[in-house]
Amino acid sequence: MRFLRENPDQVLQRLGEHVQIVALSVGVAVLIGIPLGVFVTRARWLQGPVILTTGVLYTVPSLALFALLIPYTGIGRPTAVVALVVYSLLVIVRNTVAGIDSVSPLALDAARGMGLTGPQRLRLVELPLALPVILAGVRLATVAPVGTATIAAAIGAGGLGRIIFDGMDRLDSDRIFAGAAPAAALALLADWGLGRIGGVLQPGRRSVAKGE
C-alpha cells in the first residue's frame, strides 16, 4: 500500500489510461459485433465462418497478436485497442446470435400479424427481447479486456500495466500490487455495473428471485 499512498496521482493517471483503452475497445467491438451478429442471423451460411474466424482470433496469445499488428498499427495504444477489439468480438457476436435465436416464434408471428416489416420486427421485437443475452456478452467482453489491457503496457500503451511492469523490473511487490489491485477492482466494478443493468432489463427474473 505504500506506493498507492505516496503516488496517488500516478496511479490515477494510469487508471484513467486503462479505462480509456478498455472503454474504446469495447465500444468499437460493440459497434462491429452486434451488427455482425444480426447480419449472420439473416445470412445463416455466414454464421459458421464468422464464429470460427472470431474464435480462432480469440485463441491467439496477446503478445503474439501485438507483434502481428505492430507493423500496421505501430507501437502504443492503437495496437492495444485493435487487439482488444479482436478479443471481444467472439463473445459479442455469439451472444447476439444466441439472443436473437432465443426470441419466441410466437412473438415473431404476432409481429408479422400486426404487419411489421422485417426491419421493424428486428428493431421493435427481436433486439429488445434479445437485449439481456446481448448485454451478457458485452459484460464478458468488458471484464476480460481489463486484465488483457495490462499486458498492452509492454508495447507502450500505458495503463495500469505500466506500474506492474515497473514493479517487476524493480522486484517491488508493493508497486506490482499498486497496479494489479486497481485493475482487479475495475474488472469487478464493470462486472457489477453491467450485471445491475442486465437485472433492470429482466424485471420478471428479479421478481421471481425476490419471491414476488
Q: Enumerate domains of the chain plus CATH numbers.
A: 7-201 (1.10.3720.10)
User: What would the pLDDT profile of 50-63 be if each residue is shown by its tens digit?
Assistant: 999 999 989 998 88
> How does the average pLDDT of the chain come out, rounded?
86
Report the percent of the chain where pLDDT is more than 90: 33
SS3 labels along 146-203: HHHHHHHHHHCCCCHHHHHHHHHHHCCHHHHHHHHHHHHHHHHHHHHHHHHHHHHCCH
User: Any idea which residue has 505501430 for its cell?
Assistant: 74
| Of residues 12, 22, 49, the one with CA closest to residue 145 | 22
- Cα-Cα-Cα-Cα torsion 31, 117, 46, 37, nearest 10 degrees, comes to 30
Model pLDDT, residue 201: 67
CB atoms under 10 Å from CB of 206, counted, come to 12
11/17 Cα distance (integer angstroms)? 10
Predicted TM-score (pTM) of this structure: 0.85
Mean pLDDT of 1-27: 86
Residue 197, all three cell numbers: 443493468
Model pLDDT, residue 124: 87
- CA 194 vs. chain centroid, Å, equals 11
Residue 137, all three cell numbers: 456478452
38/25 Cα distance (integer angstroms)? 20
62/13 Cα distance (integer angstroms)? 24
Q: Is 155 exposed, middle or buried (0-12, 13-18, 19+ CB in 10 A)?
A: buried
Model pLDDT, residue 211: 41
138/113 Cα distance (integer angstroms)? 32
56/33 Cα distance (integer angstroms)? 15
User: What would the pLDDT profile of 79-96 be if each residue is shown by its tens digit?
Assistant: 999 999 999 999 999 999
- Cα-Cα-Cα-Cα torsion 91, 96, 102, 103, nearest 10 degrees, comes to 160
Are 92 and 50 spatial neighbours (Cβ–Cβ below 8 Å)?
no
75/92 Cα distance (integer angstroms)? 27
User: Any idea which residue has 442471423 for its cell?
Assistant: 41
Mean pLDDT of 67-89: 91
CB atoms under 10 Å from CB of 56, counted, come to 10
